[in-house]
Amino acid sequence: MIEIKQLYKSFEDKDVLRGINATFEAGQTNLIIGQSGSGKTVLMKCIVGLFEPTSGQILYDGRDFVSMGKKEKALLRREMGMIFQSAALFDSMSVLENVMFPLDMFSSMNLRERKQRALQCLDRVNLSDAGRKYPNEISGGMQKRVAIARAIALNPKYLFCDEPNSGLDPKTSLVIDALIHDITMEYKMTTIINTHDMNSVMGIGDSIIFIKEGLQEWTGDKTQVATSSNQALTDFIFASDLLKKARQAFV
């Protein structure tokens, strides 16, 4: 479980996060949604430690990440996996080497065991045959799946996904969503997903927080999002005419 308490983040004189409070439970997919520029990427970067918050607490199962020393942070990071918007695979390594990388760096397994574990992870994301290929030889959807395989290689307790469906077609997005959801259940991970993909919201939104201008505007889940009376959320979710009509029919 990850808890965020009174999190503030400012860049020079601009307040991007203004007192966020949230709880992300283990074994479910927790979504952070909001318009571009609302502060959701900054929030995620604060949670994973890429940005230092101005004030507030980030508790990983009760351990305050903000006040930790460098060594403790490095150890905690080994319990994290992250899937970036751009997949962020290492260009100079093959798919198999990419998945093996966290194992090479931090596990005490021998080469055979590391390779076996990496192949297991690739098999889990249905990419058993792509091990020898390089990131530039595979499609965007496959790159995302490799990123998932790399993220789960060390059996992380916390999984972070920054717009995992960005640049993917709707069908591939559904595959990625389903994969992240299944893996979350399987490994009992605390998964946080940054997204503005409505299919993800409706499909895997076990818990959703909606951020607007650095403030937590609404919290709920996928069953509540369509019927919410929060105007800002409704305007965001049902931005297109098609969705507006669908909502009217639904309500």
Partner 1 sequence: MTAILKPIATFGRYLQLMAKVFSRPERVRMYLKQYIREMQQLGLDSIVIVLMISFFIGAVICIQMKVNIQSPWMPRFTTGYTTREILLLEFSSSIMCLILAGKVGSNIASELGTMRVTQQIDALEIMGVNSASFLILPKIMGLVTMIPVLVTFSIAAGFGGAYAISFAGILTPEDLTYGLQHSFKVWFVWSSYIKSFVFAFIIASVSAFYGYTVEGGSVEVGKASTDSVVHCSMLILFADIFLTQILS
Residues binding partner 1 (CB under 8 A): 48-50, 73-78, 80, 82, 84-86, 88-92, 101-102, 104-106, 160
Nearest to 135 by CA among 93, 81, 104, 86: 93
In whole angstroms, the minimum distance from the beta carbon of 128 to partner 1 comes to 23
* Cβ closest to partner 1, residue 32 vs residue 225: 32
First-to-last alpha carbon distance for the chain, in angstroms, is: 34
Identify which of residues 69 and 170 has a Cβ nearer to partner 1 in the complex: 69
Query: Angle 95-106/111-124 helices, nearest 10 degrees?
Result: 130
Pairing outcome for strands 215-220 and 2-11: unpaired
In the complex, minimum distance from the CB of residue 105 to partner 1, in angstroms, rounded to a whole number = 5
What is the nearest approach in angstroms of partner 1 to the Cβ of residue 86?
5
Q: Which is nearer to partner 1, 100 or 201 (CB)?
A: 100
In three-state form (DSSP H/G/I as H, E/B as E, the rest C), the secondary structure along 214-230 is CEEEEEECHHHHCCCCC
Nearer residue to partner 1 within complex by CB, 47 or 127: 47
Closest distance of CB 123 from partner 1, Å: 22
Number of H helices, E strands in the chain: 10, 10
